Amino acid sequence: MHDVMDYCLRTYFKTINWNDDNQYSNLCTASRAILDFQIPRGLTFAISKIKFPLLKASYSMNVSPILNGSLGYLFTSRPLKVNPSERVNFMEMIDRFHINYMPRNYSPEVLDKNDTEVIKDYLLYGRLFVPTGRLEAIYSKRFSRWMQCVVTAVSDPRSKAASHVTTELQYDVGQWCTELSYTTDGELFGVRGLYNFTSQSQEETDTDSNNEEKSLQDKKKKEDDNLKAPLVERNVFDVSTESEDDDEVESLKGEWSIGAELYYGVRERSGGVSAGIRYRSLPQFSLQSPLSVTYLINPIMGHMSAAFAAQVSDDLALCPRFEFNMYSYESDLMIGAEWWQREHERESESNGDTDNKTSQGEVTGIVKATVGTSRGITLLWEGKYGKMLYSIGLVADLTSRISPIRSVGLQFQYFS
């Protein structure tokens, strides 16, 4: 579960209409949300106070296994609408499987015209951890509609090697996105690129957090309407044939993305390259269930990874991932699932009609589970109770006879 500072950062980028999912570094976001989630460590209480629209403050404390905490502040050029924990949209606080699609199809004339517009959006963020004294900072500056710069810095008094500064220059026009980066850790230079191939005309669509739920509801409604539709003056064979043809055309509508990364370390005098491909369905086509297929390869290291994430029902998503090294022949298989918990479904009866309309309840919790050949079993339960958000996690290794339970964590969040 995201803490309030991460939630505010995501809200800021959503407010300025910047899509992080269109970057090559986030090519596998869908599968990572199901498989690579983090569980709480020990017992943590996070209390935050949102005083002003432009300034956010956060305070957290970890009481087990070591007493520590953090103090964070966030300042933005635009006011952020951040609801308190009792009224926050739970789907925006969790890292979940979803298709975040923001289509754009701008002509070169529009790009040249809008690229000269000056945008003064910026963000300042800092967090101090006590008693270690570790400091994290982020500065984000928007130069134009398509370009922004993000500078992140970490200062750790205990380890000078962990202290570094990273600068990224991002240029995103929707159909393609490029990133230039430099980090003082190893004096590493990098360049990334991602290009999208969409099999239909791109149009602006709503990208709110309930996009997947709306698509699933529309799919269910269309299926019900097809069952209730009269077959007068129509041949049954023709109806089935048309339905199959429509399904085939619908299944071809999606987006293919290809990307690559090239990096070189001056200090180590070595570099690397990686490439990836992704196919994902588009949320505006309700007849197709959300799915994302990715394949990554690093030819120098010999590592490759393939993942398939799909929402198999209204509240269940599954994802297997297979990793293999061509040089050492080492492999790893991981399977994960996430299940959304909802409020009780509500039924309403139409006036004068006998048919009842059923609407899905609001998501109030999520359960995640993974099992892998190297990681073992990981369980996570996140939910909302009253005015607080909670997370309960467990990591277990059933092959160990001495200590099958590796770690257990519990976290509570409250902000107002």
Cβ contacts of 317 within 8 Å, gap of 6 or more: 34, 96, 97, 290, 309, 310, 311, 337, 338
Identify which has the larger pLDDT, 301 or 248: 301
Helix-then-strand count for the chain, H and E: 6, 21
Say if 35 falls within a structural domain. Answer: yes
Average pLDDT over the chain, rounded to whole? 81
- Write down the pLDDT at residue 206: 42
Query: What digits encode the pLDDT tens for the residues 39-86?
Result: 998 888 888 887 788 888 888 888 877 888 889 999 999 888 888 888
229: in domain? no
| Mean of pLDDT values over 182-207 | 75
Under 8 Å between Cβ of 373 and 334: yes
Residue 234 has a pLDDT of 43
Q: What is the pTM of this model?
A: 0.81
| pLDDT given at position 397 | 86
| CA atoms of 114 and 104, how far apart (whole Å) | 14
Given this model, what pLDDT does residue 145 score?
87
Interval 95-107: pLDDT, tens: 889 887 765 555 5
CA atoms within 13 A on the CB side of 234: 11
CATH number at residue 373: 2.40.160.10
- DSSP letter for 344, please: P
Domain membership flag for residue 71? yes
76: CB partners within 8 A, 6+ apart: 8, 12, 54, 121, 122, 123, 124
One DSSP character per residue, 264-287 reads: EETTTTEEEEEEEEEEEE-TT-TT
Lowest mean pLDDT among 222-226, 359-363, 364-368: 222-226
Domain-located, residue 108: yes
Asked if residue 233 is part of any domain, the answer here is: no
Asked if residue 236 belongs to a domain, the reply is no
Whether residue 309 contacts residue 30, with contact meaning beta carbons closer than 8 Å, is answered with: yes
Q: Which of the pair, 276 or 159, is modelled with greater confidence? A: 276
Residue 367 forms part of a structural domain: yes
385 is in which domain, residue-wise? 4-222+245-348+355-415
Q: How many domains does the chain have?
A: 1
Give mean pLDDT, residues 116-140.
87
235 belongs to a structural domain: no
Tell whether the torsion through CA atoms of 106, 112, 113 and 118 is positive or negative.
Answer: positive
Q: With CA atoms as reference, report the closest residue to 17 among 259, 282, 208, 258.
A: 208
